[in-house]
Amino acid sequence: MSGTSTGKTNAGNFFEDFTVGQVIEHATPRTITEGDRALYQALYPTRFALPSSKEFAQQVGLTEHPVEELIGFHIAFGKTVPDVSLNAVANLGYAECRFHQPVVPGDTLRTSSEVIGLKQNSNGKTGVVHVRSTATNQRGEVAIDWCRWVMVNKRDVEAPAPETFVPDLKSVVAPEDLIIPAGLDFTGYDFTAAGETFRFGDYEVGEKIDHVDGVTLTDPEHMLATRLWQNTAKVHFNVQARTDGNRLIYGGHIISLARALSFNGLANAQLIAAINAGAHVAPAYADRTIYAWSEVLDKAETAAPGVGAMRLRLVATRGRDESMILRGDDGKYADGVLLDLDYWVLIPV
């Protein structure tokens, strides 16, 4: 045995390792702390008052001080990588992501995934795996769940194709399916502390908002973030993992950056309730400068006092695009678009 590797390391799953109905319990439960909140503040230019201030959270009815929803999402997501997407060619999409309750320091998240769809590609070399992942806390309660589908390499191109099954996922989480955090009450909302006066009624469907500011990416920053989420995808950390010698930036880093930039114009979009869909349109690398714009896609009432729901498209671009054009005449994403995220926020009416 001496002198040879003994196959104890994780090579990840390949397409033929998945079966519909299979449930994978992912490793490494993770306790969230105030350290995560501070690092998130250092990594992204976020200024939303609720995750920034314990008092603001209490004033809107939350007894504990939640961290940003995306902290929970990135941590829960990161756990799925070694089992689901270590051999992925591409992360194709998200759907039906709901935040069931705020994540607070002291919570411990673990994640499991159920394989809900499989479709081998016609080239026989890859296939699409659909999973529904569920993050639960230390009380066994659901904190976040979501679906995603990824294109995964086959280990053996000769392996037989599984029966094709493509799940029927909702293109949008219905407003009545949004989960409002227990106790949330925006009737006494402090707009001055929050930083802007615009409320639910001030936004119109179709309206676009150019968030103005840009941030130039660096390698150390995205690596710090991605490690914090215990995401192990090699391409983010190792210049030898790709032929071009670049570190590919974790798509979630761009989501968090764009969400933070969206404060300027959407300061009262305090909580993310759901993610309907998301596409990482183009890769991002260090030294590019990222901007963001948003479009109001829909609006809905909720049962919580003073709380409205607004469906937004959040677009991250490489370089500023004041025209805010998502797609060209050919229907393809415009040059420079990196992220197209469709999500629901909670905002005072």
- Binding to a copy of itself (CB under 8 A) within 212-231 occurs at 212-216, 218-221, 223-225, 227-228, 230
Min dist. Cβ of residue 44 to a copy of itself (A)? 7
Q: Interface with a copy of itself by CB under 8 A: which range of 93-101, 155-163, 261-269, 329-337?
A: 261-269
* In the complex, least distance from residue 32 CB atom to a copy of itself, rounded to whole angstroms: 9
Our finding on whether 255 is near a copy of itself (CB under 8 A) is no
Please state, in angstroms and rounded to a whole number, the distance separating the CA atoms of residues 284 and 205: 30
What is the nearest approach in angstroms of a copy of itself to the Cβ of residue 51? 9
Give how many residues touch a copy of itself by CB under 8 A.
92
CA distance 239 to 159: 31
Nearer to a copy of itself, 121 or 153 (CB): 153
Q: Which residue has the tokens 């764009």?
A: 258
Count CB neighbours of 344 within 10 A: 29
- Cβ proximity to a copy of itself: between 21 and 140 the closer is 140
List, in order, residues 6 or more apart from 99 with CB less than 8 Å away: 69, 72, 73, 143, 144, 179, 271, 272, 273, 274
Can you tell me the distance from the alpha carbon of 99 to that of 73, in angstroms, rounded to the nearest whole number? 9
Which residue in the set 116, 144, 180, 266 belongs to the binding site for a copy of itself (CB under 8 A)? Answer: 266
**Beta strands 215-216 and 30-31: pairing type?**
unpaired
Residue from the set 267, 277, 316, 347 that interacts with a copy of itself by CB under 8 A:
267
- Is 22 an interacting residue with respect to a copy of itself (CB under 8 A)? no
Which residue, 184 or 292, is less far from a copy of itself as judged by CB?
Answer: 292
Q: E strands along 42-194, which residues?
A: 88-99, 108-120, 126-136, 142-153
Is residue 10 at the binding interface for a copy of itself, with CB under 8 A as the rule?
Answer: yes
Distance of closest approach, residue 309 Cβ to a copy of itself, in angstroms: 18
The dihedrals phi and psi of 132, each to the nearest 5 degrees, come to -110, 120
CB of 6 to a copy of itself, least distance (A): 5
* Smallest distance from a copy of itself to CB 161, Å: 29
Nearer to a copy of itself, 92 or 142 (CB): 142
> What three-state secondary structure class fits 261?
helix
Minimum distance, C-beta of residue 344 to a copy of itself, in the bound complex (Å): 19
Q: Which of residues 302-331 bind a copy of itself (CB under 8 A)?
A: 319-320, 322-324
Kind of pairing between the strands at 126-136 and 108-120: antiparallel
- Least Å distance, CB 299 to a copy of itself, is 14
Residue 113's SS3 state is strand
Minimal distance in Å, beta carbon 343 to a copy of itself? Answer: 18
CA-CA distance, 261 to 316, in Å (whole number)? 9
User: Which residues 84-113 are close enough to bind a copy of itself by CB under 8 A?
Assistant: 105-106, 108, 110
Q: Which residue number, 67 or 150, has a Cβ lying nearer to a copy of itself?
A: 67
State how far the Cα of 115 lies from the Cα of 97, in Å rounded to an integer.
16
CA distance 232 to 237: 8
333 token code pair: 């994403």
From 265, 330, 273, select the one nearest 292 (Cα to Cα). Answer: 265
Residues 122-161 touching a copy of itself, rule: CB under 8 A, are 138
Shortest reach from residue 82's CB to a copy of itself, in Å: 8
User: What is the contact mask toward a copy of itself in residues 154 to 193, using x (rule: CB under 8 A)?
Assistant: --------------------------------------xx
Residues 6+ apart with CB under 8 A from 237: 223, 226, 227, 247
Residues 42-71 that bind a copy of itself (CB under 8 A): 42-49, 52-56, 65
Q: Kindly state whether residue 234 participates in binding a copy of itself, applying the rule CB under 8 A.
A: yes
Phi/psi of residue 244, each to 5°?
Answer: -85, -5
